[in-house]
Structure 1
Amino acid sequence: MAAALTAFTLLALSSPPSAAASPSSPLNAAASPSSPLNAAASPSSPLNAAAKAVVPCPRPKVKPPTGRPARPVPPPDDPVARAVGGDALATNGLAVPAGVAAPPALTAATWLVADLDTGEVLGGCGPHVYQTPASVQKLLLAATVMPHLDPRQTIKVAQSDLDIEPGSSAVGLVRGGSYSIATLWLGLILNSGNDAANALARVGGGRSGVPATVKAMNDEAKRLGAYQTHAVTPSGLDGPGQFTSAYDLALISRRLFDRADFRKYALTRSATMPAQKALKKGGFQFQNENRLIFNYPGALGGKTGFTKLARHSYVGAAQRNGRRLVVTLLGAENNPLKGWQQGAALLDWGFKLPKDASVGKLVDPESLATTKTTENAPVTPGPTNKAPQPAAAPQRDSSRTLTFAAAAAVAVILAATPLLLLLTQRRRQRVRRRPRAQYHAGPS
């Protein structure tokens, strides 16, 4: 029995981590199977096999518009990052619970529906496929900077805040004008103002300005578990190497919809830009561009986005019968449905699903932090003369201080123990049967 347990211990300690986990992955490829990342599943597991069988997402029968720019080359796929939240999400195609009604046919290249409160993913289409974000990236800016800025603070607009791509959206800030942080948030969320994004990023970055805020945005994305998100601009205007995914957007949006101040801004239908009397500029009113709040019962708000490269992107949330859902979609065309209408169709589909319907999970930042701390903590080996307990789970964490050589030595000692005891016992029996004189003869 001891030898059998020893062999089991040796096998568990000597087993290599999953081959699908990249050593350079930010997710720590040696995570245990119980990790909330659910990233260490065997490539031959039924879940991974199912993920490889791509089910096409429903699409409407419409011709794509001509003249679309070529899709930027995404980073290489990391099999670990693609499995964040569950193996079923590691697909380029459709991931929905078995037996449910088919989701609506959409032009969105990728999308996801999730429960804001439980974090359950109800369904998705290419949830981890890289896409360009457009202005929904402003949600990452808000998630990063909003907790640190006083909404009552007043700042002056600099010329650099107005340096945006010609023809892109702006809320109409004036150089040298004075605006409250709250007004800038309204300009960012309602009117998708790139000038407001630049001003907020500049102030949020302190002396280092916009570059510091962009770095903080990327740090915040990693903290949330949005490992496929990389920001280059604070506004979402296209930049080389700028990507996100439908899953990542849901993680970011979930944190924002937990904030009362964000929900208040997102549900504001119209706001007033104050006059700048010293600059002889009058005030004006601007509207919320997210039509969901005007047309969908229970709407909680969201964010629209568009660039020629990214196409239409959208994030929207709503509540119904005590349930809050969020939808994210990327790479959509506005025919036959506009972005917010595609979001509304997904919300309708999601609210009809049973509450226990799920194909994955939005990872929780607190759980990620706990997992990383636990996995990176040094482990003190116990006494080597104690037999392993059958109930203990085999550890596959490469950060354990017990090396393979030490484990092999322990295994040899434990395996030899029963044999040594047996030989010693027999030797003692033979000794007791020998005459005393013979036993004491020989050199002393």
Structure 2
Amino acid sequence: MLYRSGTQVRPRAGAPEIPEEDISALSWLVADARTGDVLAAHNAHLKLPPASTLKTLFALTVLPSLPGGIRHTVREEELEGIGDGSSLVGVAQGRTYRVADLWRGVFLSSGNDAVHVLAAMNGGWKTTAARMQAKARSLGALDTHVLSPDGYDTPGQVSSAYDLAVFGRAGLRNPEFARYCSTAQAKFPAGGWSYEIANTNRLLTGADGVEPYPGLIGVKNGYTSEAGNTLVAAARRGGRTLVVTVMNPQEGGGYAVYEEARSLLDWGFRAAGRVDPVGTLVDTRGVPAAGPGATTGAPAHPAGDGPGWPEVAGIAGAAGLGAGGVFLALRLRNGRLTRG
């Protein structure tokens, strides 16, 4: 059913209706993170530009090779080729950073400068893109074509609501990924001092008038002129974790992606156990990634309420604290304002 166009859902008697009047996204999906069951979807395999939600795949691919404790001094060539209008965290040439700081720059500020440095440490831009492609294939995410590891608009670079949900689900099994994607705010070093950075995921932080979603545990938002607004979000309630993907809402302005995700999460928690799955997110843990030099990542935690998920649940409670006071820093490159 997931390869059919339009909305797919199999309600049982008494199941709540999907609030389709509130959803304008070109593609979306709601899944149970423990079982992988897809509760409902709309154009799940439609190939669309992913924007910075592709950074979920970047992290899945590179995190196992670059743990947070490593220190690295940034070279000039590592910051070359950053696209005009890119979101930046403020990585500076010649400055030494812990890799953990760079990862916070990726997850919170959606910093393409941090992605470029980490990709250079991982063997280079093209090598990282190839490894990401292999990782996607190993996860069964067959709609994704990687050309720019930071998600920057590039002709031919696409993913889908289905694939992004696969990446989000896989990421939440990795404690480092889960910790970074649920962090609302942090300090970023600037040589003898530091400044505050805030997660650009407004559904997590409550910034810009968007109400934070109770129990939200990440994962990643994105925006480019070609992709529009995109979001992979996960939340936990009553022992159940849901993953939702929303791609390119057509109505409601720049923050509609958060409200549409909110509506889908609300529906998913009400509908769980009252709808039959319309498909499943493939689960290929332990299958080696294809291609030379590809990495399969750290051993995944089992899905469900075993190792991994309690850590994520604990993070969720902390992530919402003080969200209303989060300071959101947007950066400029070549005079253009960008969002994560």
Which bracket does the TM-score occupy, shorter chain normalised?
0.7 to 0.9
CA-CA distance at 1:297 after TM superposition: 1.0
How does the TM-score come out when normalised to structure 2? Answer: 0.77
Which SS does the other structure have where 1:96 is aligned?
A: strand
Partner of 1:311: 228
Partner of 1:363: 282
Aligned mate of 2:179, from 264, 268, 278 = 264
Partner of 1:151: 68
Task: Give the direction of change, closer, same or farther, for the CA distance of 1:161–1:367 in structure 2 (3 Å limit).
Answer: closer
Which SS does the other structure have where 2:11 is aligned?
A: coil
Partner Cα distance (1:273, 1:115) in 2: 34
Partner of 1:93: 6
CA-CA distance at 1:98 after TM superposition: 2.9
Partner of 1:375: none
Partner Cα distance (1:305, 1:271) in 2: 19
Whichever residue aligns with residue 288 of structure 1, its letter is N
Partner of 1:287: 198
- Indicate yes or no: 2:167 matched with 1:167: no
The number of aligned residues is 275
Partner of 1:381: none
Aligned residues of 2:141 and 2:163 also touching (Cα < 8 A): yes
Whichever of the two has the greater Rg, that structure is 1
CA-CA distance at 1:333 after TM superposition: 4.3
- Indicate yes or no: 2:135 matched with 1:225: no
CA-CA distance at 1:166 after TM superposition: 2.2
Aligned mate of 1:348, from 238, 256, 266 = 266
Which SS does the other structure have where 1:215 is aligned?
A: helix
Partner of 1:135: 52
CA-CA distance at 1:259 after TM superposition: 1.2
Aligned mate of 2:125, from 187, 194, 210 = 210
Which SS does the other structure have where 2:10 is aligned?
A: coil
CA-CA distance at 1:150 after TM superposition: 2.1
Cα distance per residue 1:271-303 (max 9 Å; x no partner): 1111325xxxx5211111112223111111111
Cα distance per residue 1:2-51 (max 9 Å; x no partner): xxxxxxxxxxxxxxxxxxxxxxxxxxxxxxxxxxxxxxxxxxxxxxxxxx
Aligned residues of 1:143 and 1:256 also touching (Cα < 8 A): yes
Partner of 1:198: 116
Which SS does the other structure have where 2:23 is aligned?
A: coil
Partner of 1:111: 28
Task: Give the direction of change, closer, same or farther, for the CA distance of 1:91–1:250 in structure 2 (3 Å limit).
Answer: same
CA-CA distance at 1:256 after TM superposition: 0.2
How does the TM-score come out when normalised to structure 1? Answer: 0.60
Aligned residues of 1:140 and 1:221 also touching (Cα < 8 A): yes
Aligned residues of 1:312 and 1:333 also touching (Cα < 8 A): no
Partner Cα distance (2:60, 2:90) in 1: 23
Aligned mate of 1:179, from 81, 97, 102 = 97
Partner Cα distance (2:227, 2:185) in 1: 27
Partner Cα distance (2:110, 2:77) in 1: 17
Partner Cα distance (1:264, 1:258) in 2: 10
Aligned residues of 2:11 and 2:274 also touching (Cα < 8 A): no
Partner Cα distance (2:273, 2:171) in 1: 22
The structure with the largest helix share of the pair is 1
Gaps (5+ residues) in structure 1?
1-87, 370-444
Whichever residue aligns with residue 238 of structure 2, its letter is N
Partner Cα distance (2:204, 2:67) in 1: 26
Task: Give the direction of change, closer, same or farther, for the CA distance of 1:335–1:270 in structure 2 (3 Å limit).
Answer: same
Task: Give the direction of change, closer, same or farther, for the CA distance of 1:178–1:226 in structure 2 (3 Å limit).
Answer: same
Aligned residues of 1:305 and 1:312 also touching (Cα < 8 A): yes
Aligned residues of 2:26 and 2:250 also touching (Cα < 8 A): no
Partner of 2:310: none
Partner Cα distance (2:145, 2:161) in 1: 13
Which SS does the other structure have where 2:48 is aligned?
A: coil
Identity within the alignment, %: 40
Alignment RMSD, CA only? 1.7
CA-CA distance at 1:342 after TM superposition: 1.5
CA-CA distance at 1:354 after TM superposition: 3.2
Task: Give the direction of change, closer, same or farther, for the CA distance of 1:109–1:160 in structure 2 (3 Å limit).
Answer: farther
Partner of 2:160: 245
